[in-house]
């Protein structure tokens, strides 16, 4: 079909007639004078025909209503198709899907499939509804959207929504201008945030509270994301609070959320994920905004959410079905008249592309929040700014000098990877191909070589520090320094062992911590044989062992593994990256604790030099770090006086 819909879509969408009623006047011709023959439609089942003739006699009341689905009129199910098989379709357009001569090789097999497989019908209906919803209606001089489907509009459709959205963006632009920022639109990037003055490293560019947010753990306060002194909501039994003040702060939203969650039975409530709660809260906030219970501002306004890009047309069918199923559950909880499943599904797509993980000061994830203004900021694999959080407040700080009239850029993903790895992550999650200063080097010799170092293999010669590239004969990998070849079979065998052990770790339970520790040590040993010393994979395993040794209070081994990771951090992250600063911080604390005070001072100083730019200097986290550095320096000075 020219609108991108096919026969499966036609049959699936017709299944909407499992609900609803029809007036006698719309089908009475089938009952008495089908196509001018003076006889009933021969495709109507005999008993069903008599029932309809009694209900709608010739010359009777044409406005009498009857169910479209005579068997289960109040259920959304597959019985509509079973009715067609029994020749009990109310409208000609229904029955023709099964009975017309053209149906045999087209729609009839689809009807039979949906009749026997309700899941297939539900999944196809979801996909078809979204496809139909994505069709652009004819407007302007080409047509109009009717307010009443039986009548041409007397006036054109209101443009209130568009006007309001434009007004919201104008108000936001005014506020941003006061902070020396402006929104521009570029052909290849869409909306962008630009600086209208010079910003210098450590300077705050933008602060934003989450429009909506949820913790990622059920045992975390909904107000502050804390974990102490928690008490569960006595009604919904899902949400936790640490204090009366947090509960009061969240009450306007949670009052309605609690009511919505309580509509589900206890078992179904357990399956409510953070993503579902975030969407539920989004619509509740919209309602409270429209009722002026929560005031809309230039930075906190549902119109800014409407302006976000969803990429819904680029999402594969499987993901669309998942979004639609989630949307159906949200709709079931909301039960609001002005909400439809397609809109909710599209908003799930918006959240996937625009929501941010809220982290603590050490970049450990706490929850998820939607920050519509910060979502305007584009990605770069070599950003000039960093997004951190002070509680739930998002803070964007410059990490490089940003000249006036330059674009503000942050990173959406983990940037410690090859260009191919980064491109894959961005395409899968955010549905775009990055063209930043790092990514434009894709496929160039330096880019290929760097990928082989951070994601490739070690030379078999332990005295050699070279990296390996696949040889032209595809027999293995050849060292670019000494020329030694490493066979594909050897690499495959080691990789297989690592994969097998890694799966064991994933399957282990909390009661098997010792086994997990032993297995992780074995994985690290194998990776040392396989991976280049600057391998990100090896670094990540050593990071895991560092945390395990710290949990075991084996401080010497913890420091040893921390030091092993530092050179890799220095290579794969820019000099201003907070993760590098945090690794120096860990190293410095361990060195100081173990009596290596001078080394501790050096590491803590490096940590401060980075983290004061990304985290500022006035947060409790940074004040504690600065205090530790002062104490370590005082101790080092004292020790020097004793020598």
Beta bridge partners of 458: 467
Nearest CA to 263 out of 295, 236, 225 is that of 236
Quote the CA–CA distance of 66 and 63 in Å, as a whole number. Answer: 10
- Burial of residue 565 (number of CB atoms within 10 Å: 0-12, 13-18, 19+): buried
Asked if residue 419 belongs to a known ligand binding site, the reply is no
Quote the CA–CA distance of 286 and 338 in Å, as a whole number. Answer: 11
What would the two tokens of residue 382 be? 């070599």
* Contact present, 618 and 207 (Cβ < 8 Å): no
Specify the DSSP element, H or E, that contains 389: strand 385-390
Asked if residue 18 belongs to a known ligand binding site, the reply is yes
Asked if residue 586 belongs to a known ligand binding site, the reply is no
Report how far apart, in Å, the C-alpha atoms of 59 and of each of 21, 33, 54 are: 20, 12, 12
Report how far apart, in Å, the C-alpha atoms of 565 and of each of 72, 506, 587, 608 are: 65, 23, 10, 19
Quote the CA–CA distance of 518 and 233 in Å, as a whole number. Answer: 41
Quote the CA–CA distance of 99 and 84 in Å, as a whole number. Answer: 8
* Contact present, 408 and 181 (Cβ < 8 Å): yes
The sign of the CA dihedral 456, 426, 283, 206 is positive
Phi, psi of 359 (to 5 degrees): -120, 160
Asked if residue 17 belongs to a known ligand binding site, the reply is yes
Quote the CA–CA distance of 111 and 375 in Å, as a whole number. Answer: 44
- Classify strands 378-379 and 409-410 as parallel, antiparallel or unpaired: parallel
Quote the CA–CA distance of 29 and 52 in Å, as a whole number. Answer: 11
Which residue spans within 455-542 are E strands per DSSP?
A: 468-470, 476-479, 485-487
Quote the CA–CA distance of 216 and 369 in Å, as a whole number. Answer: 10
Phi, psi of 371 (to 5 degrees): -120, 85
Beta bridge partners of 67: 21
Quote the CA–CA distance of 526 and 495 in Å, as a whole number. Answer: 8
Asked if residue 77 belongs to a known ligand binding site, the reply is yes
Q: Which residues are annotated as a binding site for heme b?
A: 17
Annotated binding site for Ca(2+): 18, 69, 72, 77
What residues form the annotated binding site?
A: 17-18, 69, 72, 77
């Amino acid at each position: 079909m020219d609108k991108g819909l096919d026969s499966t879509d036609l049959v699936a969408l017709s299944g909407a007639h499992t609900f609803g009623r029809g007036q006698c006047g719309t089908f009475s011709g089938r009952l008495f004078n089908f196509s001018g023959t003076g006889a009933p439609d021969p495709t109507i089942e005999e008993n069903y025909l008599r029932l309809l003739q009694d209900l709608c006699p010739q010359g009777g009341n044409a406005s009498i209503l009857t169910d479209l689905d005579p068997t289960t009129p109040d259920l959304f199910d597959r019985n509509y198709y079973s009715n067609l098989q029994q020749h009990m379709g109310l409208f000609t357009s229904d029955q023709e899907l099964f009975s017309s001569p053209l149906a045999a090789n087209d729609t009839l097999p689809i009807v039979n499939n949906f009749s026997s497989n309700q899941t297939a019908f539900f999944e196809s209906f979801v996909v078809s509804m979204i496809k139909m919803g994505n069709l652009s209606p004819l407007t302007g001089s080409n047509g109009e959207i009717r307010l009443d489907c039986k009548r041409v509009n007397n006036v054109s459709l209101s443009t209130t929504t568009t006007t309001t959205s434009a007004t919201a963006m104008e108000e936001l632009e005014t506020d941003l201008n006061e902070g020396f920022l402006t929104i521009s639109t570029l052909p290849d990037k869409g909306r962008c945030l630009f600086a209208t003055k010079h910003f210098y490293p450590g300077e705050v560019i933008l602060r934003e509270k989450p429009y909506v947010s949820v913790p990622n753990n059920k045992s975390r306060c909904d107000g502050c994301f804390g974990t102490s002194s928690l008490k569960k909501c006595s009604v919904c039994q899902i949400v936790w609070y640490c204090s009366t003040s947090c509960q009061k702060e969240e009450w306007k939203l949670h009052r309605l959320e609690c009511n919505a969650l309580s509509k589900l039975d206890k078992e179904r409530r357990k399956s409510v994920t953070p993503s579902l709660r975030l969407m539920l809260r989004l619509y509740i906030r919209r309602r409270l905004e429209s009722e002026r219970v929560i005031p809309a501002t230039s930075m906190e306004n549902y119109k800014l959410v409407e302006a976000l890009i969803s990429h819904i047309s680029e999402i594969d069918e499987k993901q669309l079905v998942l979004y639609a199923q989630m949307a159906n559950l949200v709709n079931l909880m909301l039960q609001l008249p002005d909400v439809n499943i397609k809109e909710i599904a599209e908003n799930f797509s918006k959240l996937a592309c625009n929501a941010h993980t809220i982290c603590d000061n050490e970049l450990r994830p706490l929850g998820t929040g939607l920050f519509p203004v910060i979502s305007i900021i584009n990605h770069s694999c070599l950003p000039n700014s960093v997004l951190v959080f002070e509680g739930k407040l998002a803070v964007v700080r410059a990490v490089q000098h940003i000249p006036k009239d330059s674009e503000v850029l942050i990173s959406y993903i983990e940037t410690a990877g090859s260009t191919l790895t980064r491109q894959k992550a961005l395409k899968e999650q955010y549905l775009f191909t990055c063209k930043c200063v790092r990514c434009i080097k894709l496929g160039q010799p330096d880019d290929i070589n760097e990928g082989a170092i951070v994601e490739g293999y070690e030379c078999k010669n332990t005295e050699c520090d070279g990296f390996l590239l696949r040889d032209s004969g595809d027999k293995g990998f050849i060292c670019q320094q000494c020329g030694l070849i490493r066979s594909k079979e050897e690499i495959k065998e080691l990789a297989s062992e690592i994969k097998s052990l890694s799966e064991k770790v994933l399957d282990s339970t909390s009661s098997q911590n010792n086994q997990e520790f032993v297995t992780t040590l074995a994985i690290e040993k194998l990776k040392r044989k396989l991976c280049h010393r600057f391998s990100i994979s090896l670094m990540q395993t050593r990071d895991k062992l560092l945390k395990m040794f710290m949990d075991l209070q084996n401080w010497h081994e913890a420091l040893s593994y921390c030091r092993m990771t530092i050179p890799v951090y220095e290579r794969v992250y820019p000099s201003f990256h907070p993760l590098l600063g945090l690794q120096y911080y860990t190293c410095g604390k361990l060195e100081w604790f173990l009596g290596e005070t001078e080394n501790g001072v050096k590491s803590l100083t490096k940590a401060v030099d980075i983290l004061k730019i990304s985290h500022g200097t006035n947060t409790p986290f940074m004040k504690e770090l600065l205090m530790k550095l002062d104490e370590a320096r005082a101790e080092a000075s004292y020790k020097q006086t004793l020598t």
